[in-house]
Amino acid sequence: MDVTIKTALISVSDKTGIVEFAKALAQAGVKIISTGGTAKTLAQTGVAVTSIDAVTGFPEMMDGRVKTLHPKIHGGLLALRDRPEHVEAMRQHGISPIDLVCVNLYPFERTVANPNCTLEEAIENIDIGGPSMIRSAAKNHKFVTVVTSPDQYPRVVEQMRANNGAVGGRLREEFARIAFGLTATYDAAIAKYLNGQAGIEFPERVALALTKQTALRYGENPHQTAALYKLPRSTEPCISNGKLMVADTEISFNNLLDANAAFELVKEFDEPAAVVVKHLNPCGCAIDADINVAYRKAYEGDVTSAFGGIISLNRTVDVELARAIMESYSRFGKALGAEGFFAEVIIAPKFNEDAIEIIRTLKIWGSRVRLIETGPIDRAKIDAGEYDVRHIVGGLLLQKRDLVGWEPGVLTFPTRAKPTPEQLEDLRIAWLVAKHAKSNTIVLAKNKRILGVGVGQMNRVESGQLAIRHAGDEAKGSVMASDAFFPFPDNVENAAAAGIAAIVQPGGSKKDEDVIAAADKHGIAMVFTGKRHFRH
């Protein structure tokens, strides 16, 4: 059913495009009712406006807190025009129908994102009248068009011009659905802020306010549909906030999961660092004063697994680095027996224009690789209040993010042998990589790069054996990290047989004394962190 727009109520905080929209409505003969600053803006540009108090008979009062909360507004929005008793009630009380509501809300999220925002300022930016009008109009979308975003203005105008001033039922229904999503996320943002102010980590009810960014080709498998949603207030350098450069192939659900894993690991390092991830697990990681060297070392950590992987860097990709990545097979992989190379995604704070051209044209796969530019990495912007959310059927598990990194001040050294400064640096790298790999995890490192990673095994011994086997002869003189404590000395014995010189693990096992004794027997230096990093 088409509904002709005769009267529109406009009250917006974001005035983007509102003058042009109002003029288009006015040209179609629509009477425009407006409030406060919006009415002033429209009147100054020559749009004929009826003030809200002229409709309600009451002035705007209480610093604008009360202006649209009135029966003549909500009656005009909620009345069912095909019910005689509703029409009669409108006639008796002098209520005129309102056919279109154009409202966007006080900028609550933008206000509280300011670190200097006070509680009083936050409260004043909680919109009451706006959500009320949106909900009234959306509920009665059979007769009322509810417009909540500037990007909807052209669609309304186009449809009115094509239908003699009327808006169709499908568009009204679509906009109503979007409107209820808007008010839900708005209330969720308010609740999140107030819970934070009260120091409530896990409130009685949690609503996750997410905004759809894009539909994805499919989910983990082609028979699953998927989409990317973003937390509106997030300013942290991350994959969700990254800029996806144009590529011939769309980014996928799995690409985004892997890209997030790669970038969150590379963010752990202040030094130039490179990470290669495959199926959510790091298969290469290295640091060096030269980012080009760091990349080469990370790639060489496991050239087989790097095929089709995700590359993440914490420095700008310039021409030299772009060439190093694109020529990985011909320069490094061939000598190491790799069957070839391509990357699904490359992530960096910035890509130089010339570097992008090299990536796109140097190799045939370059046109397909997705580039994500994250902007400068600033760990001060990490949102410690954001939940780590895991899904189980019928519910969600919420926990605080694991933001514990390398903590030199809390390390203990229970063995007679102590790690050298060089070993301690390798232990740090191995420990941080273990934090970002699936448990059970064992990581070997030497000379500031990862040599072998064993992940996701049902027992820690097999993870250790995998890591040692992958490192091969290079395991001798390397260091080992375990994401959780050793329940028995078996991994220490295996480490000793491989020539591993130092181990970092949380400690805390009932068998710690046996584990320490085994390390002492073989002259292995051991470090306890006091914290574990399970990652299921």
Mean pLDDT value of segment 378-395: 90
CATH code of 24's domain: 3.40.50.1380
Domain holding 191, by residue range, is 3-197
Q: Tell me, what's the pLDDT at 35?
A: 85
Clarify whether residues 74 and 136 are in a common domain: yes
The token pair that represents 282 in the structure block: 């790091």
Clarify whether residues 417 and 358 are in a common domain: no
Clarify whether residues 449 and 515 are in a common domain: yes
Q: Tell me, what's the pLDDT at 343?
A: 94
Share of the chain above pLDDT 70, in %: 97
Closest CA to 209 of 234, 225, 188, 235: 188
Q: Structural domain tally of the chain?
A: 3
Q: Tell me, what's the pLDDT at 508?
A: 96
Encode pLDDT of 467-487 as tens digits. 999 999 999 999 999 999 999
Clarify whether residues 300 and 170 are in a common domain: no
197, 224, 240 - which closes a domain: 197
Let me know if 13 is exposed, middle or buried by CB neighbors in 10 A (0-12, 13-18, 19+).
middle
**Max Cα–Cα distance, the chain, nearest Å:** 96
Mean pLDDT value of segment 512-530: 98
Q: For residues 234 and 242, what is the distance between their CA atoms, to the nearest angstrom?
A: 11
Q: Tell me, what's the pLDDT at 101?
A: 96
**Domain presence at residue 301:** yes
CATH code of 290's domain: 3.40.140.20
Share of the chain above pLDDT 90, in %: 79
Dihedral angle computed from the Cα positions of residues 225, 228, 229 and 233, in that order, rounded to the nearest 10 degrees: 170
**Domain presence at residue 392:** no
Encode pLDDT of 220-262 as tens digits. 999 999 999 998 778 899 999 999 987 788 899 999 999 999 9
Clarify whether residues 270 and 419 are in a common domain: no
Clarify whether residues 356 and 268 are in a common domain: yes
Q: Tell me, what's the pLDDT at 246?
A: 75
As a whole number, the mean pLDDT across the chain is 93
Above 90 in pLDDT, residue 36?
no
377, 400, 422 - which closes a domain: 377
Encode pLDDT of 408-445 as tens digits. 999 999 999 999 999 999 999 999 999 999 999 999 99
Encode pLDDT of 85-130 as tens digits. 999 998 999 999 999 999 998 889 889 888 899 999 999 989 888 8
Clarify whether residues 262 and 181 are in a common domain: no
Clarify whether residues 162 and 257 are in a common domain: no
Kindly list the catalytic residues.
139, 279
Clarify whether residues 321 and 420 are in a common domain: no
Q: Tell me, what's the pLDDT at 328?
A: 87
Q: Is the peptide bond prior to 260 cis by the omega test (within 30 degrees of 0)?
A: no
Encode pLDDT of 318-348 as tens digits. 999 999 999 886 566 566 555 578 899 999 9
| Predicted TM-score (pTM) above 0.75 | yes
Q: Tell me, what's the pLDDT at 182?
A: 93
176, 197, 218 - which closes a domain: 197
